[in-house]
Structure 1
Amino acid sequence: MKLRRVTDGAALAVEIAAVDGWVDAAQALGAVSPALSPSDIAHLSSDIVALLGAPEDIRQQAAEAAAALAHAPSVTRRPVLPFAPRSFRDFMLYERHAIDAARGFVRRFLPGAWPVVRAYERVLGPPFPLLRPHRLWYRQPIYYMGNHLAFAGDGETIAIPSYTRALDYELELGFVLAHAILDATPAEAEAAIGGFVVINDFSARDVQRDEMRSGFGPQKSKHFRNAISGVVVSADEILPRWDALKGSVRINGHLVSEPCTTGPRWTLGEALAHVSRSERLTPGEVFATGTLPGGSGIETGRLLAPGDTVALAIEGVGTLSNRIASEDQGSP
């Protein structure tokens, strides 16, 4: 099931993807079961997370009803953020990204050390030992808490903060909880996932380096803005193959890289189970895998500049495109 949220300028509504377009979720839900009260239909048809958390038979019947309903094009509705995230935690599941990004940091910000790293790797092979993640990364899933209030939608303009000269993109697979968990097993944690999205975790790389060295983790380097795709794909379509999805990064229409979700250190269930230890997680909380290998400019050498349009995609999940502007030209 694919879902999106739209507005006519006054009210919000959820739509379900059908073969030939989008169908109002209220119509589809109204056709599925007499057991649904008008208040149930109103709630589920205005809240994607609630609909993802509805019983499987209700969701299945709604999808079938949407497919059977005639699509009525509407020019008055426009897509908006699919939901308001209740929190945002970003994992770092990929060792290859961590190493390649560290290599990119040395190349760009520590030019004096770069010849040493390059010579070592030429003679002894990669990676240079200090490029590997911290030893804690190998023992447990690690993550940082991002700014859940800073999400932009598909098509929105991203303003470059005044304090950075090294704005980067990061292609990540995101997922939202539809059920609460506490002290979950990996299987229980995985079953709580409601749907998947594409996330761009924008980063100010020149600021990030010093913040990470402070020991407190990312701050202004991350919290200014991130972006989320407008369509949510239900977990049943993605979970069975989440670690075998192909992606792409295009800047101004030119293909920059083709990342893939293969090779994570931890499964999504293991990562979520770790977070849920003595910590209750609730529906609407958003998580991301961390950058897919090759999914950032610090790895490829192509950072962002005003006037660029960065377009990210993950097969089966969706696309996410944002234009980059200087701070005085973009939306804050």
Structure 2
Amino acid sequence: MRLATYQHRGLRRSGVVEGDSVLPFPEGTELLDVIRTGSLPGTGTAVPLAGVRLLPPVEPPSVRDFVTFEEHVEGVRRSVSGAAGVPDAWYDAPTFYFTSPHAMVGAHDDVPVPPGCRALDFELEVAAVIGREGRDLSPERAREHIFGYTIFNDWSARDLQSREMQVGLGPCKGKDTAATLGPWLVTADELEPYRDADGFLRLALTAEVNGVEVGRDLLSNMGWPFEELVAYASRGTWVRPGDVLGSGTCGNGGCLAELWGLRGRQDPPPLKPGDTVTLTVEGIGAVSNTIVPGAEPLPVPPARKRPRTRP
């Protein structure tokens, strides 16, 4: 089943996607409410998808973005810091960072250039959405807590990211302007036929810039399946309905920075206004966003050197 949140005639609605139409739930029904209860309300008259604006399927309470593709780590590390190889610590556990749940944009929304950015990049990911709360889950139990999956594009200001990560806290404004979520939420049962013998979802992933393919990979090249990501995320804390867990960017051109690191130059070039990025995931669908000019950064002064006085 495909579930969507959309805007139609000025109203925010949600419903079930069937073919080229969406069957609306009663007005005021949020998809997050459907996820929490696990029950579907009645639906109304079909509305053509061509006449709606697709919104992010959920407004997530939290967003954890993992880094589970070894090939991506190797290429981007070289691009951002100049270091070769993959850190030994990467193999220990599925590392993630928390990113802003307020930066979500829809499947076909324009994406502004982040203020001050000169090296904008896309990131092709798949995200799992939690359906049931849980804590200290085993991977086996965690599978029951995944409601469904959607496409996740973690837009990245690589020049800002490269500088701020030297502080050692991870990406900040380099990841804070936009993240595409969509085009809808596909329930977990729909993707079970794609599961391989090792428990990974074998979905084909492709990335295009202005109609030219720049990346192609398989979701099953993740270092950990989603159940293990959920289990690790729940260790010592809670995962709750609507929480989004990104797979991390796939390899083999899942982002431009990986290619920059491997080629030693910005080829293809950073994204600019007018460029359109289309990401397609087998079994889920596609999202396509066009880059537009963003706001100029309002100045914030650098740190003032202060005397280290004590009371």
TM-score of the superposed pair, with normalisation by structure 1: 0.77
Indicate the residue corresponding to 2:217 in structure 1: 259
Q: Contact 2:127–2:246 at 8 Å: present in 1 too?
A: yes
Indicate the residue corresponding to 1:96 in structure 2: 71
Residue segments in structure 1 that go unaligned for 5+ positions in a row: 27-41, 111-129
Aligned partner of 2:31 among 48, 66, 72: 48
Structure having the higher Rg: 1
Indicate the residue corresponding to 2:235 in structure 1: 277
**Partner SS, residue 247 of structure 1:** strand
More helix by share: 1
Write the mapping of 1:189-228 to structure 2, written as runs, cut at 5 A. 189-228=142-181
Following superposition, the deviation at residue 196 of structure 1 comes to 0.8
Indicate the residue corresponding to 1:117 in structure 2: none
Q: Contact 1:186–1:272 at 8 Å: present in 2 too?
A: yes
Indicate the residue corresponding to 2:250 in structure 1: 292
Query: 2:286 matched to 1:326?
Result: no
Indicate the residue corresponding to 2:115 in structure 1: 162
Change (3 A) 1:259 1:52: same
CA distances 1:176-201 after superposition (whole Å, capped 9, x unpaired): 11110101111222211111111110
Write the mapping of 1:3-18 to structure 2, written as runs, cut at 5 A. 3-9=3-9, 11-18=11-18
Q: Which whole-Å CA distance do the structure 1 matches of 2:16 and 2:114 have between them?
A: 36
Q: Which whole-Å CA distance do the structure 2 matches of 1:295 and 1:20 have between them?
A: 28
Equivalent residue pairs, number: 282
Indicate the residue corresponding to 2:85 in structure 1: 132
Change (3 A) 1:307 1:19: closer
**Partner SS, residue 15 of structure 1:** strand
Q: Contact 2:207–2:215 at 8 Å: present in 1 too?
A: yes
**Partner SS, residue 188 of structure 1:** helix
CA distances 1:196-217 after superposition (whole Å, capped 9, x unpaired): 1111101111121222221111
Following superposition, the deviation at residue 9 of structure 1 comes to 4.5
Write the mapping of 1:170-189 to structure 2, written as runs, cut at 5 A. 170-189=123-142
| RMSD after superposition | 2.5
Q: Which whole-Å CA distance do the structure 2 matches of 1:140 and 1:191 have between them?
A: 21
Q: Which whole-Å CA distance do the structure 2 matches of 1:261 and 1:74 have between them?
A: 27
Return 184-193 or 17-26, whichever deviates more. 17-26
Following superposition, the deviation at residue 76 of structure 1 comes to 6.8
Give the % identical residues: 29
TM-score of the superposed pair, with normalisation by structure 2: 0.82
Q: Which whole-Å CA distance do the structure 2 matches of 1:89 and 1:174 have between them?
A: 9
Following superposition, the deviation at residue 290 of structure 1 comes to 0.2
Q: Which whole-Å CA distance do the structure 2 matches of 1:73 and 1:172 have between them?
A: 27
Q: Contact 1:53–1:194 at 8 Å: present in 2 too?
A: no
Q: Contact 1:20–1:71 at 8 Å: present in 2 too?
A: no
More strand by share: 2
